[in-house]
Chains A and B, each alone.
Chain A
Amino acid sequence: MRKRSIACVFFVLCLPLFAACSPKEPPPPTKKPPVEKLLIGLIPEQNLFRQMERYEPLGEYLSRKTGTKITFKVLPRYGNIIDSFNSSGMDGAFFGSFTYALAHVKVGVEVLARPVALDNTSTYYGMIFVRKDSGIRTVRDMKGKRFAFVDRATTAGYLLPRDYFFHHGISDYNRYLKEVYFTGTHEDAIEDVLNKKADIGAAKNTVFQRLAGEDPRILKELVVLARSPDVPENALALRKDIDVSVRSRLKESLLTMHLDPEGKQVLERFGALKFIETTNKDYDVVREYAEHVHLDLATYEYVNN
């Protein structure tokens, strides 16, 4: 009985305290910050799987540094990138020069940064090449031959050969050549010419040089007949509506990763010295080149079946 009385007194004395402690209004529901994710597309510049393997460490590094989970999605074709922005919810991509120029017009993506290669260049150019023993040296020699393009949305693998034939007075190269096909990757275009699966090929010089480093037959057996102007190397561009803070964190991480020991290691594996800032203006050369071959980016319909 006595214990119960003491407990009652204690409870009454504590009531003001409970009142002071209890919130007058219910607390606002704690909002869990939405998990930031970015789906970044990769164009098949090289073997699809090697491309994924090359970019995965970069994605992991950027995810750690920005706090935004970055996932890559490799695409079977260059031009698919533009479709994917509408169909797959893609937030950005490492665009080739021509695909960026096209995507900027069609989807409105904004470029952030591009890598500087180990030879300290941040641009590339397209090349038309044949086997030395093929006897093909001029456009006349190409008649009735097999041509390995890369993709209809590449500067090196499409704009260059188109420009080449256009300036040599051949308006319909499909009829002029025995076969025109698209390898899908620069690597395969080079490999096909080397292995006589095609007679003529077009690809970007950076892939050509990398493969030449791995296979000495390339420099020994292939000869370059034409080249395109220098255009910016594949660069990361994001949709316009991506959060500014996410965009700036990503850009900051890319531009400073060469100063971070861990970032430096990732760059070494990626095959670059650093990332440099890239603007839309850097692609003027591509746009001019497209105009040069009478290709209107605004109305260009990418079909690569």
Chain B
Amino acid sequence: MKRKIAIGLAVYSVVFLLAGMYVILTIRNATTSLDRLITLHQVEILREHYLLQIKKVQSDLMLKGTAYSRSFDSVVMHVMSMGRLIDTCFECHHSPRGMERLNGLKQQTDKYKDALSRVLTVRADTARLAREKDTAFRVGEDLIEQVGDMIAFTTSRLEVNTQHAMSEIERTKYILYLLVAAGPLLSALLGYIFISGLTRPVKVLVESARKLKSGDLDHRVAGLKDEFGEVAASFNEMAGSLKEQMQKMQRTEQMVVVGELAAGLAHEIKNPMAGIKVAMSVLSEEAYISPEDKAVLQKVVAEIAQLEGLMRSFLNFAKPQKPRLEPVNVNQMLNTTLTFHLKHQAVGAGGPRKIEIVKEFGELPVTLADPTQLQRVFLNLFLNALHAMPRGGELDVRTCLEEDGKSIRIEVSDTGSGIREDLINKVFQPFFTTKPKGTGLGLAISRQMIEQHDGTITVANRPGGGALFTILLPVKVEGAAA
């Protein structure tokens, strides 16, 4: 769009520049024609003036020797003025032909001046004086004729040039009218193009936003280019994301409903199941029950116990308890869990294998947390790690305070086979499990508990193999705002 605006402005400027140059050129041509016309008029006036001056000198000549003769000084002045006028003609530019005619005129003028000088200075008998006067007069008449011819020539040229100049001026006038009319129209047109180029995409975007608002999440912006195209792409991404989130929310709401239903159902099942379990236990203790039946009954009791565990876990997930916060030393809690609970669990679950536990505990502040929930989370992570290392391995537990001092980082990693990349994003989903007898609720409940503490839990595969769970738990101090 920026480029288009720049190009548009450049085109606009160039068009105006060209129009301006054309106007200047046209005006200059017209003024040049006028100048030429004025010059020709001046030339004509000059030549007519010159003709008048010659006639005046001729008149002086004719009056010489009569009672009306002018003074010698006046005659000299008239002749000198005549001479100066012809010299003035040489100050202008002339074509070679014009210069030739002018030189001829100058020569004739000089000849006339010579003859006049003779008439004014010669002292002789009457016949000679008359001859001199006659000679001068004839030269003067020739000069008058010559100048008359030139005036006629100039007049004819003047007419042609006047017509040419007038038509030039007329043309200039029309061009200027046209430009005066076309200029605003062009500006309006270009302005309309620019404004519509800007407003149309905005209009499309506003329209799309309204459709989105009305619930049409499938609507996408199309047909926009440049910067508006980028905005449209972002808008479409946003719409897509919004739709996805809406679907997630809908699923979550469904899950909540299903969870509540399931929790209610589980609660209703739990009591009869406890009765069945007790009944089965009592029955299995009876003497008349054969050992084979006893074994079956004990298996039923064990299955019921497993179902009860599942029910408990499910109820915990569906109806999580609010954490009961109290000052907790995370390192100590980890240590306890590793030392007592894990040992018991490890021996009970995995059989004989060599698990090396590596602890790197940093100095941590005491934080407010629910020790039961935390212990359950830690135990869950440790058990998962043990399960991931059926042939033994190394369980690393590290803690440290984040650089900003606001969170505690707890890392639990193993040296097992890790988690498949396509499943790694699903490990925290409820009922997702890779264990044959897993409920798929351990990690989901763990994340739920950590999130109830305003923390986060993430998982990643270690470069050397094995999984790494990272918990970031905010440091909470007693009395501080939650």
Pairwise interchain contact B122-A49, C-beta atoms closer than 8 A: no
Pairwise interchain contact B118-A188, C-beta atoms closer than 8 A: yes
B420-460 CB contacts (< 8 Å) to partner A = none
Pairwise interchain contact B83-A183, C-beta atoms closer than 8 A: no
CA distance A73 to B124 in the complex (A): 24
CB contacts (< 8 Å) of B80 on chain A: these are 49, 52
CA distance A188 to B117 in the complex (A): 9
Pairwise interchain contact B118-A49, C-beta atoms closer than 8 A: no
In the complex, whether A77 has a CB less than 8 A from a CB of chain B is: yes
A53-97 CB contacts (< 8 Å) to partner B = 53, 73-77
B89-123 CB contacts (< 8 Å) to partner A = 113-114, 116-118, 120-123
Pairwise interchain contact B121-A304, C-beta atoms closer than 8 A: no
Pairwise interchain contact B121-A53, C-beta atoms closer than 8 A: no
CB contacts (< 8 Å) of B76 on chain A: these are 48-49, 52, 74
Pairwise interchain contact A188-B113, C-beta atoms closer than 8 A: no
Pairwise interchain contact A182-B123, C-beta atoms closer than 8 A: yes
CB contacts (< 8 Å) of B118 on chain A: these are 183-185, 188
In the complex, whether A263 has a CB less than 8 A from a CB of chain B is: no
Contacts A184-B121, A185-B121 supplied; 10 other A-B pairs, CB < 8 Å: A48-B116, A49-B79, A49-B116, A76-B72, A76-B120, A179-B125, A184-B118, A184-B120, A188-B118, A188-B122
CA distance A151 to B5 in the complex (A): 93
Contact for B73 among A73, A151, A188, CB less than 8 A: A73
Pairwise interchain contact B73-A49, C-beta atoms closer than 8 A: no
Closest beta carbon of chain A to B114's beta carbon, Å: 6
CB contacts (< 8 Å) of B124 on chain A: these are 179, 181-182
Contact of A181 with B125 at beta-carbon distance under 8 Å, contacts A49-B76, A49-B79, A49-B80 already known = yes
CA distance A305 to B125 in the complex (A): 10
Pairwise interchain contact A181-B128, C-beta atoms closer than 8 A: yes
Closest beta carbon of chain B to A181's beta carbon, Å: 3
CA distance A49 to B84 in the complex (A): 11
**Whose C-beta in chain A lies nearest to the C-beta of B135?**
A197
Count contacts on A: residues with CB < 8 A to the other chain.
22
In the complex, whether A44 has a CB less than 8 A from a CB of chain B is: yes
CA distance A50 to B113 in the complex (A): 9
**Whose C-beta in chain B lies nearest to the C-beta of A185?**
B121
Closest beta carbon of chain A to B189's beta carbon, Å: 66
Closest beta carbon of chain B to A295's beta carbon, Å: 19
Contact for B121 among A50, A179, A188, A305, CB less than 8 A: A188
Contact for B123 among A47, A50, A305, CB less than 8 A: A305
CA distance A305 to B122 in the complex (A): 10
Pairwise interchain contact A77-B121, C-beta atoms closer than 8 A: yes
Closest beta carbon of chain A to B85's beta carbon, Å: 13
CA distance A48 to B82 in the complex (A): 14
Q: Which 4 A-B pairs rank lowest in CB-CB distance, beginning with the nearest?
A: A184-B121, A181-B124, A182-B123, A47-B117
CB contacts (< 8 Å) of B114 on chain A: these are 47
CB contacts (< 8 Å) of B123 on chain A: these are 77, 151, 181-184, 304-305
Contact for A49 among B72, B117, B128, CB less than 8 A: B117
Mark interface residues in A34-54 (1 if CB within 8 Å of B CB, else 0): 000000000010011110110
Contact of A48 with B121 at beta-carbon distance under 8 Å, contacts A53-B83, A74-B76 already known = yes
CB contacts (< 8 Å) of B113 on chain A: these are 47, 49-50
25 A-B pairs whose Cβ atoms sit less than 8 Å apart in the complex: A44-B117, A47-B117, A48-B76, A48-B120, A49-B79, A49-B113, A49-B116, A49-B117, A50-B117, A52-B80, A76-B72, A77-B123, A151-B123, A179-B128, A181-B123, A182-B123, A182-B124, A183-B122, A184-B117, A184-B120, A184-B121, A184-B123, A185-B121, A188-B121, A305-B123
A154-184 CB contacts (< 8 Å) to partner B = 179, 181-184
Closest beta carbon of chain A to B70's beta carbon, Å: 13
Closest beta carbon of chain B to A71's beta carbon, Å: 11
Select the residue from A73, A151, A188, A304 with max chain B CB neighbours within 10 A. A188
CA distance A75 to B121 in the complex (A): 9
Pairwise interchain contact A76-B121, C-beta atoms closer than 8 A: yes
CB contacts (< 8 Å) of A304 on chain B: these are 123
Select the residue from B121, B122, B123 with max chain A CB neighbours within 10 A. B121
Closest beta carbon of chain B to A173's beta carbon, Å: 15
CB contacts (< 8 Å) of B116 on chain A: these are 48-49
Contact of A181 with B83 at beta-carbon distance under 8 Å, contacts A73-B73, A76-B72 already known = no
Closest beta carbon of chain A to B112's beta carbon, Å: 10
CB contacts (< 8 Å) of A151 on chain B: these are 123
